[in-house]
Amino acid sequence: MRTSACLKALPFLLFLGGCVMHNRMTSPVALPKEQQSWTYGLVVDPILASDDGEVFGFQPIISYRAGLDKGNELGVTLYGVYLPGAVIDLKHQFYQNGNFTFSGDAALYGGALRPFGLQYDLLFGSQKFYGLAGVNVDFTSFTNYPAAKVIGIGSEVPGKRGLGFQITYANRLVPDANDRYNWLMIGLKMDFRNSKKKFRDPAKQIKE
């Protein structure tokens, strides 16, 4: 990717950085409706690219995830150090049998001087080990929508701390000799709080 383009959009990402962001660091398994979690972590991703190669940087993230009805989960991830940014995603479980789960995750991302785009990933496996395959589309250019394929692996260790990692790689679907696009992102995370949501009893509300 041209240096001038990256300078206008220094990355801060989650599932891949560079001039786009992809990573949510979430397994195929959706949280139950009554549960929610708060997570902090660190990602290493390219913050600048030129013909001489990539320059990598460390960026902190913080995220909130909540279970919804019917195997759905909502996530909000904030990135920042170089420039602020955010990712909002919705995960849906299509299939679950024993330890195997198959899900889809749609994410909308953007930020200050950051590209605006959409990524859709298919997640498969278990919490302890899962894979992903997806497509990322950057809407920053209104005349040309560069798309990239995304692949990765990750792991979440169930428990109070929810330790996890994810490694993701992306490159352009249609190669462009004048525009580099090969990004690698490595992320580590840990849940600092897991709790149950507080639901009010409808019967009590009527009495009140």
Closest CA to 197 of 64, 30, 35: 35
Mean predicted confidence (pLDDT) in 88-108: 96
- Does residue 66 or residue 179 have the better pLDDT? 66
The pLDDT value given to residue 139: 80
Torsion-angle region of residue 6: left (phi > 0), alpha (psi -120 to 50) or beta? alpha
- The answer, as to whether pTM is greater than 0.75, is yes
Mean predicted confidence (pLDDT) in 135-150: 75
The pLDDT value given to residue 13: 32
Cα gap 172→89, rounded to integer Å: 22
Task: Average the pLDDT over each of 28-32, 35-39, 135-139 and give the range with the smallest value.
Answer: 135-139
The pLDDT value given to residue 20: 52
Residues 32-78 pLDDT 10s: 999 999 999 988 876 555 555 566 778 889 999 999 999 999 999 99
User: Which value, in Å, is the radius of gyration of the alpha carbons in the chain?
Assistant: 18
> Which residues make beta-bridge pairs with 100?
97
Q: Is the pLDDT of residue 119 over 60?
A: yes
Q: Are 18 and 46 contacting, i.e. CB atoms less than 8 angstroms apart?
A: yes
- Does residue 185 or residue 27 have the better pLDDT? 27
Cα angle 142, 145, 147; round to 5: 160
Cα gap 57→46, rounded to integer Å: 6
SS3 content of the chain, % helix, strand, coil (to 5): 5, 60, 35
What is the average pLDDT score of the chain?
78
Those residues whose C-beta lies under 8 Å from the C-beta of residue 98, and which sit 6 or more positions away, are none
Cα gap 170→135, rounded to integer Å: 9
Residues 68-94 pLDDT 10s: 999 999 999 998 776 678 899 999 999
Q: Are 93 and 100 contacting, i.e. CB atoms less than 8 angstroms apart?
A: no
